[in-house]
A = this chain, B = another copy of it.
Amino acid sequence: MDLKDTPTLEKMATTLRFLCADMVQEANSGHPGVAMGLADIAVVLSHHLHLNPKNPKWLERDRLVFSGGHASALVYALLHLWGFNVTLEDLKAFRQLHSKTPGHPEYQHTEGIEVTTGPLGQGFANAVGLAMASKLAQGTLGAAFSHKVYCLCGDGDLQEGVSYESASLAGHLGLDNLIVLYDSNAITIEGDTNLAFSENVRLRFEAQGWAVLECQGHNFLDIDNTLNTAKQSDKPTLIIAHTTIGKGALELEGSAKTHGAPLGAEVLKRAKEALGWAHPPFYIPEEVKLHFSLQRGEGEEKLWAQDLSAETKEKIAHLQAKDFSKVAYPVFELGQKCATRASNGVILNAISQAYLGFVGGSADLAPSNNTRLKEQGDFLKGQCGRNLHFGIREHAMGAICNGISNYGLFVPFCATFFVFSDYLAPALRLSALMQNQVYYIFTHDSIGVGEDGATHQPIEQLSHLRAIPNFEVYRPMDAHENVLCWQVALKRNKSAAFMLSRQDLEVASSANLEQVQRGGYVLHKSAREPQISLLSSGSEVLPCLKAAALLEAENIGVQVVSVPCFDLLLRQEQDYLNTLLVGEVLAVEASRGLEWFKFADSVLGMESFGKSGKGADLFKHFGFSPENIASKARALL
């Protein structure tokens, strides 16, 4: 591609613009404005990118994230033009059920998509995660990893808190491999951005330790020069690209009307006429396709692979295998008292010994969350340890871990107090949606938090996370179950969360892996045939065991079912469930707990927020004493 051959570049951009406009028109739904506004940048970027359409997972490829996922028409059009496995038919099926081209780009659904984007700001933070992962790769594997991470974002992304959080960390870490192109078109859905936004974006990013460049987003040479400068920067770089939304859409050019609706057949027809584009919809000139093609990537990958040492290859294989079968898990004895946040800390360290790609940290709560990997050093500017320091930035933490996971060489975990899972829920949802592998460590579970009070005690959070599809929530009753939960979770190879106690819990389970794998199992069964089954999880299992003893003393048959993973229990066949749900079923959990009605006749849960007070006082106050559990159970008979 010759960047001085303006006529060809313009033809490429025009092709891209109308291809996107045609896609939206055909679907009768979508966002033409951003695609048309970014077309010129996309043409130049195609020249800079190192990708291999034949192997979309080439490890040393540049990563490209469209943070504004509503630019999906542009994304799919580019993938097609570059030579990825997205056909013209796929473009014509844009936004239709079962197509390869859904309304927002989806990871694992369409080749070449690095992350699922759509919820604004996420992609920006994912890109920071990808850049961190790239630095981790470089630190672990050497200079063979020196690609760039590009991110295209818009005003929406930059107004979201998650972008400030992650930009702050990117600047702090000096991620010089990150280049963000900010599509500054001064338009949002309600109209002019200055209705609600008047920041000095340059100053803001400089305050956060970034290099800031500007370019005219419709001038090929200017875009190219700016990208070249950015690639030399020793800081993360923001390129403020001044663009016009809906560029080429005649009287709609520059208008919010091009944002979220088709241009309309009439405007589109006139727009094509104005540029002398006398072609049918979805037309791609042959030479345009040639110019866009990224077939050079295949050769680039071959050259790169040739230079890898045997040692590097071995390390890559280790990282990619994500093999957790060799972890030397700690053993916890019956009767031992240990907070599950503490046992979890030991487990994390054991895992990190067996798998070098296990990296993570906390949102400034490492000493409380027990997430320190003792022998693995810190990940700081110019320092490549495996302990990440996210700062007090829960939301960015989740989104960054998504980026790290999607990078392909690492398995990240992150941590905060359980109640603050709310802060990162949008990112956690995307872990589930993307089917990647991020572990969320949530300590300070339930009213067991104690004195910090209602603001710090999760109530509705368990119901929330259990309701997320394709996501598993583990709440072990003790340190022993905690180990088994990790074994199950790592075998299942997908994102999951662990709810862990602040307070000591006595080890009372001697379950085996098979039992925990089923989500729930009979922990205790009285000699007499059970008339009551008590279902419970986490810190409430022990009081249930004590309640069972009280009931047995009255000659009432009872069994206690520990449910470390409600989600897995949901999948068990009825025959197995029948062995758990014997007689009257009472579920006991210090959470809102309505989902337990799936299995239980009655639920002893939380119907209000918590309170400030000693944990033991709170358990009693809210009805989780053995005496009250026994009394509720008795009432069912």
Contacts and interface: CB of A to CB of B under 8 A. Distances in A.
A368 B477 CA distance: 46
A97 B389 contact: no
A215 B532 CA distance: 65
Contacts of A583: none
Contacts of A393: 159-161, 196
A85 interface: no
Given A203-B206, A393-B161, A103 B364 contact: no
A155 to B, nearest CB: 7
B96 A614 contact: yes
B188 A392 contact: yes
Interface string A86-117: 00000000011111001110100000000011
Copies in the complex: 2
Contacts of A430: 455
Contact of A209 (B103, B198, B423, B464): B198
Interface in A64-99: 69, 95-99
Contacts of A380: 195
A467 interface: yes
Interface residues of A, number: 107
Interface stretch (A491-499, A556-564, A605-613): A605-613
Nearest to A197: B391
27 contacts: A96-B614, A97-B611, A97-B612, A104-B454, A116-B455, A119-B422, A160-B393, A161-B161, A161-B165, A171-B198, A172-B196, A172-B199, A188-B392, A189-B367, A190-B367, A196-B393, A199-B209, A200-B206, A200-B207, A204-B208, A433-B454, A433-B455, A433-B609, A469-B607, A469-B609, A470-B609, A597-B598
Interface of A: 27, 29-30, 69, 95-99, 102-104, 106, 116-120, 155-156, 159-165, 168-169, 171-172, 188-190, 195-204, 206-209, 260, 362, 364-368, 378, 380, 389-396, 419-420, 422-423, 425-426, 429-430, 432-433, 450-456, 459-460, 463-464, 466-470, 592, 594-595, 597-598, 606-609, 611-614, 617-618, 621
